[in-house]
């Protein structure tokens, strides 16, 4: 099975992990840690929102 054919399974507690988002963006000019921290907070909020509605 090639890399593209592998099924994406997100890490527990995330929708789109930072590693995947960085591949999509291709790089961040400036301080990457600032963007990473905000992305992870936003992703966690999205995950919690979806979890709340699915398990209601």
Of 6, 32, 4, nearest to 19 by C-alpha is 32
R_g of the chain computed on alpha carbons? 14
The gap from C-alpha 17 to its chain's centroid, in whole angstroms, comes to: 3
Range of 46's domain?
18-54
pLDDT at 43: 95
Residue 5 included in any domain: no
State the total domains in the chain: 1
Residue 42 included in any domain: yes
pLDDT at 27: 87
pLDDT at 1: 54
pLDDT at 32: 93
What is the mean pLDDT of each successive set of 10 residues along the chain, which is 56 residues long? 64 88 90 94 94 86
pLDDT at 35: 94
Residue 7 included in any domain: no
pLDDT at 11: 77
Residue 22 included in any domain: yes
Residue 12 included in any domain: no
Residue 36 included in any domain: yes
**pTM summary value:** 0.73
């Amino acid at each position: 099975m090639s890399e593209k054919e592998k099924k994406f399974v997100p890490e527990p507690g995330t929708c789109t992990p930072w590693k995947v988002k960085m591949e999509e963006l291709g790089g961040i000019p400036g301080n990457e840690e600032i963007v990473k921290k905000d992305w992870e907070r936003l992703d966690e909020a999205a995950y919690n929102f979806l979890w709340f509605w699915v398990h209601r």
